[in-house]
Amino acid sequence: MLAPLDPLLRHSARRTRDIFASCPDDSLKQDEKSAHLHLAVKIADEYKHYRELPPALLAQQGPVGPARPKQPPSSQKLITAGPSSDTSRMIAAIDNTPKAQPSTFATSNKLSEALTLHKTTRTVKPTYHPPWKLVRVISGHLGWVRSVAVEPGNTWFATGAGDRVIKIWDLASGALKLSLTGHISTVRGLAVSPRHPYLFSCGEDKMVKCWDLEVNKVIRHYHGHLSGVYALSLHPTLDVLVTSGRDASARVWDMRTKSQIHVLSGHSATVADVKCQESDPQVITGSMDSTIRLWDLAAGKTMVTLTHHKKSVRALAIHPTEYSFASGSAGGNNIKKWKCPEGAFVFNFPGHNAIINTLSVNPEGVFFSGGDNGTLTFWDYDTGTPFQNMDDVPQPGSLEAEAGVFCSTFDATGTRLITGGADKTIKVYAEQSQ
């Protein structure tokens, strides 16, 4: 028969208490010390910066509430605090008010000096450019003018439009010289070769055509795009043509053999613009997926992907002499300048709040941006300063909404700007003489 557990348990508990009572234990002190430390850290974290106002603000503060009497009258009794808790005692011990740090700027004068210096270091004086004015409006197309290209000899230029026709115009007089038919949808891209008697065109009908300008006929077709072709560019030194379009790819073609050298894939949406240049990156593409890619032409691979734009990139412009390029998109801070070859971001061109459809830059550093809402801005390319804002005036009979600018290019001299728009006209702008 087992003994009852109750008396045993009581006896055991008594013996245990006797044993531990005889040994002094530090655990209680340890607990107190850690609580003290924890409280100190918490006070320092939460209240360090708010215990006392800076001297400058303290000086501005007036007395708040009624003034406290220095000595209480004998009739009044002071209220004495009761026994304080451990926590309040610990707070009183910890609360060593920190010394106010003096301001770096001893006087407001020093601060204003520093701000002035900061301002002067940032201000860069832009180059003076004479204002531009509209000198000619050419009508003839029956659809939106989507592409324009000037011939290297600077005697004529070509335009392509939504009426599926490519028209050749005399640059000096604006007279129509020739109409080329062959596309079965909007002509979206044009380029005239500086080394051959060829005109290249591409359109929403998936076609890329090479026209021989000696006989004014199509002599080659470049088959491969799976959807509409939105842009094309000729390489300045190689017999290579690069096209891009709605199938989210850019394709590199051998001009002579019509064979496809590379498919530059990587974009996830329409590649709205493509540009070629002599040095790396030899191909630059801007896409509706809001990225810009710089391509290694030999390998057919992406060198750099630029993801600074928030919305679709619709236009690119390479500076003719400076090793840099600009890109335009929709949304705020929508025009950006980049440095080649690594694609380093230089600065934003601020202020043109529209969907940017076209960009052009001339050798003198006049940079043009054309918007979907008919706004035109001329900038100093070096500093990003706008020096002229204009509005595209739709031709009589057009809707106000048809003021959009879709394409632009400077002529070979850089003194005339040709734009194509939604009112089916081509407008020529020129620098105003002094």
pLDDT at 89: 65
Domain ranges across the chain: 133-431
- % of the chain exceeding 70 in pLDDT: 82
Closest by CA to 229, choosing from 170, 279, 286, 187, is 187
The CB-side HSE value for 415 (13 A sphere, CA atoms) comes to 7
CA angle 284, 290, 293 (to 5 degrees): 25
What is the rounded CA–CA span in Å between residue 433 and residue 197?
34
Tell which residue, 235, 232, 237, has the closest CA to residue 222. 232
Token couple for 98: 């920190």
Dihedral sign for Cα 329, 253, 267, 271, please. Answer: positive
Give me the half-sphere count of Cα atoms (radius 13 Å) on the Cβ side of residue 72: 6
Q: Has residue 432 got a pLDDT over 90?
A: no
Q: Can you give the pLDDT at residue 32?
A: 76
Q: Is the pLDDT of residue 139 over 90?
A: yes
Structure tokens at 260: 């496809």
Helix (H) or strand (E) holding 118: helix 108-122
In tens, the pLDDT along 64-84 reads: 555 555 554 455 555 454 555
Give me the sign of the Cα torsion angle 67, 70, 73, 79: positive
257-280, pLDDT tens digit by residue? 999 999 999 999 999 999 999 988
Mean pLDDT, rounded, of the chain? 85
Assign 59 a pLDDT band (cuts: 50, 70, 90). confident
Report whether pLDDT(212) > 70: yes
pLDDT, one tens digit per residue, over 395-412 is 887 777 788 999 999 999
**CATH number belonging to domain 133-431:** 2.130.10.10
Percent with pLDDT over 90 in the chain: 64
pLDDT at 320: 93
Mean pLDDT across the stretch 308-328?
A: 94
